[in-house]
Amino acid sequence: MDYTNHNENDGQLSSLIHHQRNDLQKLLFAGFGSRFLAYIIDLIVIWSVNTIVTRPLLRLVNLEDAELWVPMFSAANITTSIIFFAYFILMTKFFRATLGKMILGLSVVSFKGEALSNGQILFRECIGRYISMAILGIPYLVVAFTKRHQGIHDLFADTSVIKNKFRKLNDTIEERPQTV
């Protein structure tokens, strides 16, 4: 029988993981394409809710054409914005993923600890997302170029989106101390 020294193999694997950590993490975290597709799915869900529920309710209570000062502040725009931000905040808080992310096997992770804090969620999904959208969505492109595929809203909140099948592997990599 051939016996191999598992400790020696484990040491080599550990060394390889340590030296290739950044490259490995680029594979473990969701890139621009999968995150963009998840976002499109989420926009379809939000559009559906607004079309099926919100607009008929506004019509029912005769607020369909109501405006505050300018058309941008119409009842329809305000309720659409509330639904948009509430969807992202609540789905991330309770499931760590929106429906689009769930379908693609992705979830939001925190780099500050195990669970996402309420502050991280609010900052990521409300303030960070608003900032990213206000500049024509260009800050979302940062996802394609950062080590852990983080968008501006992720960088602000110290979060990212990981592929669920690699979550355990990433936790193991994160636990190993970096020595250079």
- pLDDT tens digit at each of 180 positions of the chain: 455 555 666 666 566 556 666 677 778 899 999 999 999 999 999 999 999 998 899 889 887 776 777 777 888 888 999 999 999 999 999 999 999 999 999 999 998 877 899 999 999 999 988 888 888 878 888 898 888 899 988 998 999 999 999 887 777 766 755 544
Token representation of residue 119: 């502050």
Indicate whether 105 belongs to any domain. yes
> Is 95 part of a structural domain of the chain?
yes
Inside any domain, residue 140: yes
Are the beta carbons of 175 and 114 closer than 8 angstroms? no
Show the domain range for 45.
Answer: 31-175
Q: Evaluate whether residue 139 is within a structural domain.
A: yes
Indicate whether 23 belongs to any domain. Answer: no
Q: How many CB atoms lie within 10 A of CB 48?
A: 10
The pLDDT of residue 180 is 44
The answer to whether 12 and 169 have CB atoms below 8 angstroms apart is no
64 phi/psi in degrees, rounded to 5: -60, -40
- Overall residue count recorded for the chain in this entry: 180
Mapped onto helix, strand or coil, the DSSP state of residue 112 is coil
Which ranges in 111-166 belong to alpha helices (H)?
A: 118-122, 129-134, 152-157
- Inter-residue contact 99 to 91 (CB < 8 Å): yes
| Residue 60: inside a domain | yes
pLDDT value at residue 113: 76
Q: Considering its fold, how many domains does the chain have in total? A: 1
pTM of the model: 0.80
Residue 27: predicted pLDDT: 81
Question: With contact defined as beta carbons under 8 Å apart, do 32 and 154 qualify?
Answer: no
Could you give the CA distance from residue 6 to residue 150 in angstroms, rounded to a whole number? Answer: 36
CB neighbours of 174 closer than 8 A, spacing ≥ 6? none
3-class DSSP state of 100 = helix
Residue 68 pLDDT: 74
Tell whether 76 is covered by a domain.
yes
Q: Which two tokens stand for residue 62?
A: 């005769």
Q: Is 81 within a domain?
A: yes
